[in-house]
Each structure stands twice: as C-alpha cells, then as structure tokens.
Amino acid sequence: MTAVVLDGKACAAEVEAEVSAQVAELAEAGVHPHLAVVIVGDDPASHIYVSGKERACARVGIRSTRIDLPADTDFSRVVSTVEELNANDDVHGILVQSPLPKGMDELAVTDLIDPAKDVDGFHPSNLGRLVQGRVDGMVPCTPAGIVHLLNWGGVELSGKRAVVIGRSRIVGTPVSLLLARKGVDSTVSVAHSRTADLAGLCRQADILVAAVGRAELVRADWVKPGAAVIDVGVNRVDDDSERGYHLAGDVHPEVSAVAGTISPVPGGVGPMTIAMLMRNTVRAAFNQSK
Ligand code: NAD
C-alpha cells in the first residue's frame, strides 16, 4: 500500500482563493486588511518564514508591513513596538515571529498583543477560548491548518483514536484540543518526551500527528496500517549537497508504505499554516470593522 498524499499546497490554494474573495468584499466596504509582522534578530529560518508570509499576503491582497529589529534590541523596544501596533487602527493583525532572541520572554510578548489582532492565536484569551471548546476567537494557524487538511482529505475524525506527539502551546496542545472538541470528536492522547512506549501508543492511532522537531522519528512499525499521518516537523539535516542541508519531517519516508494518508514535508502543513494566517487576518479585519 502507498499512502495517499494530502496535498497541502492544493488545499491552501483553495483557502487562499476564498480569502482573496473576502479581501475584495472588505475593500468594497473600505476596509483593507493589514498584517504587521515583527521579526527580531537574524535567525535565517525565521526570515524565510516571514518572507513566505509576505508573499502570501501579496497573493491574496492583504497589505503587509514588516518591522525588522536587530538581535540586540532592548526588550522594552519590542514591547513599545507591539503597543504601537495595538494602538494603530490601520493594523488588523500582529504577529511577532518566533523564536525571539535568547533571553527575551516570548510569553510576555504574546500576553501584550491585543487578542483581537492576535492572528497567531497564542494570546491566553484566544487559547482559553479553545479550552472552552470555542473556535470564535483566533485559532492558532498550524493546528487549524492540520484539521482543515484532514477534513479536506476526507479523513474521518469522529470517534477515531488520535495521537498527537508533542505538547507545545504552538502545535501539540492546541491541535489536541481541536481534534477532541465537540463536533470533531476524536479521542485524543497527547504524547511527549516522557511518554512510555511511544511506538506502542502511536500504533493505536487512526490519526497520528507528529509535532516533535526530530527528523524522521516516526518509523513504519509505529504506524497502524491505513492510519492518517500528519507530519508537522521541519528539521534541517546536514548533507553533502551544495546547500549543505535538506529539510526532513518528523516522519520517516518508509511510513508511506504503511499509512493510508500522509502529509508531505515540504508541501503539507507548511502551506496550510500560512493559509490559516491569511484567514485569521481577514477575520480580524472584519471583526474590527464592525
Ligand atoms: P517544541 O520544541 O515546542 O515542542 C516539541 C514537543 O515534542 C515537546 O512537547 C516535547 O515534549 C516533544 N518531544 C521532544 N522529543 C520527543 C521525543 N523523543 N518523543 C516524544 N516527544 C518528544 O516544537 P513545536 O514548536 O511544537 O514544533 C514541532 C515541530 O513542528 C518542529 O519541527 C517545528 O519546526 C515544526 N513546526 C512546523 C510548522 C509548520 O507550519 N510546518 C509550524 C510550527 C512548528
């Protein structure tokens, strides 16, 4: 058996087409969605991610402003930047690219962002809504993208056993909440670095989400035949190529021979994350225009 590939690019293109139409409708009402992205320091991967977000904004007609701050920026400058963006009625969405330079308190920055403009969905009030089973706030982009991709691929979630590897506040925890919420109705286990017999737990999963950050951790004998496997990991693996590295997911390529459905890296969850960011930004603009 070879797994059906969940084409995140194709699915994201559909979401972006919907977002473009919403942007056009808002424009008719005189509202021009505007995303501000703050990036602190020179982490190369972060710069690649931010460029990808800017390109997506251009594709769907969202205005984007990028604020580059040097790595040695004072924390108070990051705080004042966010406060200025909060107060600016012309800006509908604010994203502070993670990771911040060592020593900067990311949670403190997250807490500062106006929840209505928190397009990443990490503010306690947005994550808190998710705990309440509500999706009327800003839902974190990668988790929302994962569930959207599973639905798009026709993967049955209700009553199914889901295992999420990873418990981060960015991916693992919110995706487990989304999968377990009423109406989606998966039965979810959250695994992490202290989980005993991880392979045995994973083998029980109808839906396996790997959000770990360990290249090719999930092997074929961890996967129930026919399971849907979502690979969230993006890992740099050094090699002899001209570039000196390639990207690998958290799921070993051999899993394709066992799984029923699988999301590739790249081209799976990555494009979905960006599409959901576009969706959140338009939603934020709409809500703020009311
Ligand atoms: P994180 O480091 O915050 O969390 C990793 C989680 O994995 C932790 O909860 C930890 O307990 C668990 N873990 C670590 N080692 C483990 C092991 N050996 N066995 C079981 N669990 C283990 O990472 P994150 O922010 O959640 O991101 C996870 C991965 O997803 C990374 O590779 C990241 O680059 C990628 N990511 C991709 C996107 C995207 O859009 N494609 C978005 C966000 C994150």
Does 22 participate in catalysis according to the annotation? no
pLDDT digits (tens, 9 = 90+) for 88-99: 999 999 999 999
Q: Is the dihedral of CA 83, 88, 89, 92 positive or negative?
A: negative
Q: Which two tokens stand for residue 207?
A: 């839906």
Say yes or no: CB of residue 272 within 6 Å of ligand 1.
Answer: no
The answer to whether 109 touches 127, Cβ cutoff 8 Å, is no
Say yes or no: CB of residue 168 within 6 Å of ligand 1.
Answer: yes
CATH of the domain at 40: 3.40.50.10860
Q: Is residue 215 part of a domain?
A: yes
Q: Do residue 111 and residue 145 come from a single domain? A: no
Q: Do residue 150 and residue 260 come from a single domain? A: yes
Task: Please say which residue of 57, 80, 115 terminates a domain.
Answer: 115
For the CA of 145, the nearest atom of ligand 1: 40
Q: Is residue 9 part of a domain?
A: no
Domain residues for 227?
141-270
Say yes or no: CB of residue 63 within 6 Å of ligand 1.
Answer: no
Q: Do residue 255 and residue 214 come from a single domain? A: yes
Decide if pLDDT at 1 tops 80: no
The mean pLDDT of the chain is: 97
Q: Is residue 157 part of a domain?
A: yes
Q: Is residue 282 part of a domain?
A: no
Q: Is residue 48 part of a domain?
A: yes
Does 120 participate in catalysis according to the annotation? yes
Does 53 participate in catalysis according to the annotation? yes
Closest protein CA for atom 5 of ligand 1: 212
CA-based nearest residue to 62, from 117, 13, 10, 16: 16
On the CB side of 38, CA atoms within 13 Å amount to 29
CA-based nearest residue to 285, from 64, 27, 31: 31
To test the pocket of ligand 1, the residue of 168, 175, 276 to mutate (highest count of ligand atoms within 8 Å of its CB) is: 168
pLDDT digits (tens, 9 = 90+) for 124-175: 999 999 999 999 999 999 999 999 999 999 999 999 999 999 999 999 999 9
CATH of the domain at 228: 3.40.50.720
Decide: pTM greater than 0.85. Answer: yes
Q: What is the mean pLDDT of residues 9-26?
A: 98
